[in-house]
Structures are given as C-alpha cells and as structure tokens.
Amino acid sequence: MKTLPFTKMHGCGNDFIVLDGISHELPPLEPLAARLADRNFGIGADQLLVVRPAGTAAADFRMEIFNADGSQVEMCANGIRCCYKFLRDRGHTDADEIGVETLSGVVRPRWAGEDRVSVDMGRPILEPAKIPTRLGSGEGPVLDAPLTVAGEILKVSSVSMGNPHAVINVDDPERAELARLGPLVEQHPAFPNRVNVAFVTAVSRSRIRQRTWERGTGETLACGSGACAVAVVSILRGVVDRSVTIELRGGELAIEWPSDDAHVRMTGPAAEVYTGNFPLGGD
C-alpha cells in the first residue's frame, strides 16, 4: 500500500500537517488536502503545509498552504514558523534566516532560539481595494466601518498581512458569538476573497486578547497573520503601543510595528508533535 510521510506540528495550537516536497515526490494535493485535514477520518489539522524547492532566486524554499476545506491560500504566519523549524530539523537548511516563497510574496523567518521563530511579515496593506474589501475607499485605513450582518450593525476594521483580515472589537472575546458571526463575516459580500475574522479586546497598552475564525477552517486556537492584523488595527486606533503581546487561545505571540512605514515583526513558538505515514491505498 502506498503511504504518505507527514509531520504534525503546531504554533500556539494552530495545527498543521507538513509534507516534504523536497525529499519526496508528492501526489496531487488539492483533492487530498481536505481528506488529510479531516479530524475524524484523516490526520486532522487546521491547514496542510507543503515545503518545496524555491521557484524564484529571491527565496530559498517555497511553502504551499491548503485550508481544512481544501482551498489554497496565500499566507499563514504560524505555518511559516513551523515550516522553518521543519526545514532546520530535517537538515534542509542551517541558516539563521531564510526566504520562503508564498503566494503573497517572499517571507523571511529568523531563528529566535528555543524553538521560537521571528518573522518579518512586511508592511501591512491598508488600501481597501488591495485587501480586498468593499469597506472604505482610497488609501485607507479601514477602521470601525459599519457592516450589516444578519440585521445587526458591526464595526469592522480591515487590513491585509498577505491575506485579508477583519477585526471586530468586543467587550470579551470569550463571550463573542464567534460560531454565528464568524462565518457570516467571512462570507460577506464586502470581502470578495472571503476574510479571516478576529474578535478582540485590548486589556492594556501592551496586551490584547483575541479569538479567531479562519476562512475555510473555522475557529482556530491561533492565527499569526491575524495577530499581526489585530496589532496594526489596534495601533492605528490608538489603543495600544507599538509593541504588544497577543493572547490567543493556544498561546501568546509578540508583535512589533515600530512605525507606520515599517515592517511588522511577529515572534512566537513552533513545535513538532509527531510523525507518521498516511495510507493512500493502491499497491
């Protein structure tokens, strides 16, 4: 029987199946991704990550990302940390910093010691047309824009960190109606490519609590690019300082945005859980 070698990893509880497309020839993944990610009949994960040789001289490796529903997406910040740890642990690189090609461009993770990785996430995208969102106009930013959802008016901020995010401020993320509102905002016509949704509250000038509804996956214990988007929105709204800790259900991420024209930097953990071989059938 044919089998598929895999590694299970997570970043703050946001869990991934990692496939090595450098050492192994892989089957077509689009029809397989949802099957692997299924928590009842597959391995179970929020997303599938595939590492491959780079397709551009500007990067050292390439990472492909598939959601639990099988859709391919541009970027995953928790995933990029796990990808880098996987590449180091498997001997594909010993560099302290590398370039990883994604659908949203080249991202540069840097080793931060003790299974921690720091990632240059680039500049946030604030222009509505490029996020993309139909909220707001011109150069942006989109802050506290009214959005009608199921007869209720929500105040929504939006930013892209290589993938689109909607940020909704609430009194307590733990009491937010995430299961009801998350999919409604994700699939709202205001977001033509769908959107990741964060429910947040700033508890101090240096700390934010967040829950996340990820497009194509549902609630996850963490979202790295979402944490960056939340930090950017909160800084622009003037409620936090330029260096903040984001409290997620699965752990904490440190986010820095030194100035409006600077890159966002995210630092957080990456962990390997186990390895295995998934049966594909056949001879």
pLDDT of residue 30: 83
Sign for the CA dihedral angle at 63, 64, 67, 72 comes to positive
Q: From 43, 100, 90, 96, select the one nearest 68 (Cα to Cα).
A: 43
DSSP state of 81: H
pLDDT at 280: 87
For 18-73, what is each residue's pLDDT tens digit?
Answer: 999 999 999 988 889 999 999 999 999 999 999 999 988 999 999 999 999 999 99
Exposed / middle / buried, residue 20 (Cβ in 10 Å: 0-12, 13-18, 19+): middle
Q: Could you tell me which of 27, 73, 23 has the C-alpha nearest to residue 48? A: 73
Per-residue pLDDT at 98 exceeds 90: yes
Strands 207-214 and 243-248, by their bridges, are parallel
- pLDDT of res. 251: 96
CATH superfamily of 2-116+270-281: Diaminopimelate Epimerase; Chain A, domain 1 (3.10.310.10)
Percent of the chain at pLDDT > 90 equals 93
The pTM for the full model equals 0.91
Check pLDDT > 90 for residue 114.
Answer: no
Q: Where in the chain is the domain with CATH 3.10.310.10?
A: 2-116+270-281, 128-262
**Predicted confidence (pLDDT) per residue in 203-244, tens digit:** 999 999 999 999 989 999 999 999 999 999 999 999 999 999
Mean pLDDT estimate for the chain: 95
Please report the beta strands in 121-195, taking only residues with DSSP state E, as ranges in sequence order. 142-149, 152-160, 164-169
Cis peptide upstream of residue 132 (ω within 30 degrees of 0): yes
pLDDT tens digits, 158-187: 999 999 999 999 999 999 999 999 999 999
61 with 107: CB under 8 angstroms?
A: no
pLDDT band at 129 (very low <50, low <70, confident <90, very high): very high
pLDDT band at residue 282 using 50, 70 and 90 as cut-offs:
low
Contact status, residue 214 vs residue 44, Cβ threshold 8 Å: no
For 103-251, where are the alpha helices, taking DSSP H only?
178-186, 224-236
Please identify every residue annotated as catalytic.
Answer: 76, 223
pLDDT value at residue 31: 84
- In which band, very low, low, confident or very high, does the pLDDT at 283 lie, cut at 50, 70 and 90? low
Fold of 128-262: Diaminopimelate Epimerase; Chain A, domain 1 (3.10.310)
Q: What is the CA radius of gyration of the chain?
A: 18
Q: Quote the CA–CA distance of 118 and 266 in Å, as a whole number.
A: 6
Can you tell me the mean pLDDT for 115-135?
A: 96
Q: Distance between terminal CA atoms of the chain? A: 5
Distance CA 240, CA 202 (A): 7
